[in-house]
């Protein structure tokens, strides 16, 4: 089959392209910005890339156009496809029909921690010898790639097919399919990690997202398992709307029959089921959020026959995902980190994780409100709360429709607002002292701030 992917350079569509190529399909694609590293990864796989969305690409005559959710009406190629009556489908739909059929799908959903938990789960199954397929919205360092088919021959203990682990995004599927992506995946094991309001550009309120999560719950078979964060009221509301599968809860702060909880610090803790210790995790990851991610991973892996002590042993070797509190370098005695945090809760948990590691040493947080939700200002009032554990905060205000200085004014001298990346670099370099930790948080490239900081710190 020849598929032509429109919007191929996004993490999901790029991963889908890699899976399709590995499965033997001919893959071509286009995007508005064909640039490294995704362009290099795709070309290395023998995938031809076209810059832009020209209607002339209709002449490629693929068997089907696979449409990314960046594509809107008015896109020249999409308009030509519609006029010609050519075959098209969404990325999640194509994946469901051509990759996930016959697999035991383990889907990881939630507002935060999807990429990390998906990567953990894939690594645990790999460590246990199951050779899972996976599609992750990042690059797990244990694998060095974001997607693979995995072993399509060996079955699993649950006897329902070969394991495939997927990051299950609640964002909408395509301009012609406004359901969340994850309703296409039909998981037998579904992790519901957490649930907060996000994606203000497509969801009116939290209740609208809860409805989509309940659509996901409806697709899990009776023999399946829902792995649910016990601390999340929104998830409990989702389940009260109807649940037809086994539920394993995790993260409860007190003993609860059958539920998994942790006893100890996030980097070194016992895993308890009820009052019984069933495993111990010793690893390098920081933060209570990662402790919860580990509990979810252990519960999900158990559903495909991986014993908790085996899963815990695998987690000791987990190397995390790129851009998750990733140390980019040190210059002038100052460490510079990169992190994907872009939602206030994620910012707060990331800062807290670093705080637990560095103690009283100073944390300088640099962030840009880049997601659609943050650009719209939906959660701007939570930013002082999100940043309260850092010593200094630097906000990039470019592209915002709200006044960052006004929003951060409760922080007083603790916060600075910068109109450009260069101005932010200069302000951080001026403030930084040997022994400081600079934490850069964005869901984009942040204008190359990490290298700029390291060069400026080395030169001062």
pLDDT digits (tens, 9 = 90+) for 172-188: 999 999 999 999 999 99
Give pLDDT, residue 121. 98
Question: Residues, the chain, total?
Answer: 460
Q: Choose among 381, 399, 375, 293: nearest CA to 344.
A: 381
| Contact in structure between 27 and 17 (CB atoms under 8 Å) | yes
Fold adopted by 100-315: 3.40.1190
| Contact in structure between 369 and 443 (CB atoms under 8 Å) | no
Copy the structure tokens of residue 31: 């995007």
For residue 172, how far is the Cα from the chain centroid?
15
What does DSSP say about strands 162-167 and 133-135: parallel, antiparallel, or unpaired?
parallel
Beta carbons within 10 angstroms of residue 399's beta carbon: 9
Angle between helices 114-127 and 308-315 (to 10 degrees): 110
The radius of gyration of the chain's CA atoms, rounded to the nearest angstrom, is: 22
Distance CA 117, CA 98 (A): 24
| Contact in structure between 259 and 248 (CB atoms under 8 Å) | yes
Band of the pLDDT at 157, cuts 50, 70, 90? very low
Q: Choose among 179, 177, 185, 181: nearest CA to 169.
A: 181
| Contact in structure between 118 and 108 (CB atoms under 8 Å) | yes
More confident residue, 152 or 402: 402
Quick one: CATH architecture of 326-459? Alpha-Beta Complex (3.90)
Domain chopping of the chain, boundaries: 2-91, 100-315, 326-459
Q: Which CATH number fits domain 2-91: 1.20.1050.140, 3.40.50.720, 3.40.50.300, 1.10.10.10?
A: 3.40.50.720
Q: What is the mean pLDDT of the chain?
A: 92
pLDDT tens per residue, range 105-150: 999 999 888 999 999 999 999 999 999 999 998 888 899 888 999 9
Residue 343 pLDDT > 90: no
DSSP code at position 224: S
Copy the structure tokens of residue 268: 């070194």
Burial of 333 (0-12, 13-18, 19+ CB in 10 A): exposed
Instruction: Kindly state the helix (H) or strand (E) to which residue 406 belongs, with its residue range.
Output: helix 404-408
Band of the pLDDT at 154, cuts 50, 70, 90? low
Mean pLDDT lowest for which of 150-154, 232-236, 346-350, 407-411? 150-154
Beta carbons within 10 angstroms of residue 24's beta carbon: 8
Band of the pLDDT at 11, cuts 50, 70, 90? confident
More confident residue, 284 or 164: 164
């Amino acid at each position: 089959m020849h598929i032509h992917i429109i919007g191929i350079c996004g993490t999901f569509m790029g991963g889908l392209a890699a899976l399709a190529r590995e499965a033997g399909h001919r893959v071509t694609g286009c995007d508005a910005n064909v640039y490294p590293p995704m362009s290099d990864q795709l070309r290395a796989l023998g995938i031809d890339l076209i810059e832009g969305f020209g209607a002339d690409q209709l002449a490629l005559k693929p068997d089907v156009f696979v449409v990314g959710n960046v594509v809107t009406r008015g896109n020249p190629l999409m308009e030509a496809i519609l006029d010609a009556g050519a075959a098209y489908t969404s990325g999640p739909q194509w994946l469901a029909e051509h990759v996930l059929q016959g697999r035991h799908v383990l889907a990881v959903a939630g507002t935060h921690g999807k990429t990390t938990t998906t990567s953990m789960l894939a690594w645990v199954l790999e460590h246990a010898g199951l050779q899972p397929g996976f599609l992750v919205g990042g690059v797990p360092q244990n694998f060095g790639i974001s997607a693979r088919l995995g072993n399509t021959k060996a079955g699993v203990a649950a006897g329902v097919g070969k394991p495939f682990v997927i990051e299950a995004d609640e964002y909408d599927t395509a301009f012609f399919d406004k359901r969340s992506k994850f309703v296409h995946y039909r998981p037998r094991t579904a992790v519901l990690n957490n649930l907060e309001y996000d994606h203000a550009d497509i969801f009116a309120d939290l209740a609208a997202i809860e409805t989509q999560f309940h659509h996901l719950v409806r697709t899990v078979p009776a023999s399946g398992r829902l792995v649910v964060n016990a601390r999340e009221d929104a998830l409990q509301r989702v389940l009260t709307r109807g649940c037809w599968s086994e539920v394993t809860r995790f993260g409860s702060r007190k003993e609860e029959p059958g539920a998994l909880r942790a006893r100890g610090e996030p980097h070194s803790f016992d895993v308890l089921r009820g009052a019984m210790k069933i495993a111990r995790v010793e690893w390098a990851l920081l933060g209570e959020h990662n402790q919860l991610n580990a509990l979810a991973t252990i519960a999900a892996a158990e559903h495909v026959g991986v014993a908790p002590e085996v899963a815990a042993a695998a987690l000791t070797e987990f190397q995390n995902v790129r851009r998750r509190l990733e140390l980019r370098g040190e210059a002038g005695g100052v460490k510079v980190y990169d992190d994907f945090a872009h939602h206030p809760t994620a910012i707060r948990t990331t800062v807290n994780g670093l705080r637990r590691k560095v103690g009283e040493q100073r944390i300088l947080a640099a962030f840009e409100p880049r997601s659609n939700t943050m650009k719209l200002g939906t959660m701007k009032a939570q930013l002082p709360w999100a940043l309260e554990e850092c010593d200094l905060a630097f906000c990039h205000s470019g592209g915002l429709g709200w006044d960052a200085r006004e929003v951060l004014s409760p922080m007083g001298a603790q916060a600075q607002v910068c109109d450009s990346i260069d101005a932010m670099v200069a302000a951080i370099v001026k403030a930084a002292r040997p022994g400081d930790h600079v934490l850069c948080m964005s869901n984009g490239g942040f204008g190359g701030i990490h290298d700029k900081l390291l060069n400026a710190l080395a030169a001062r």
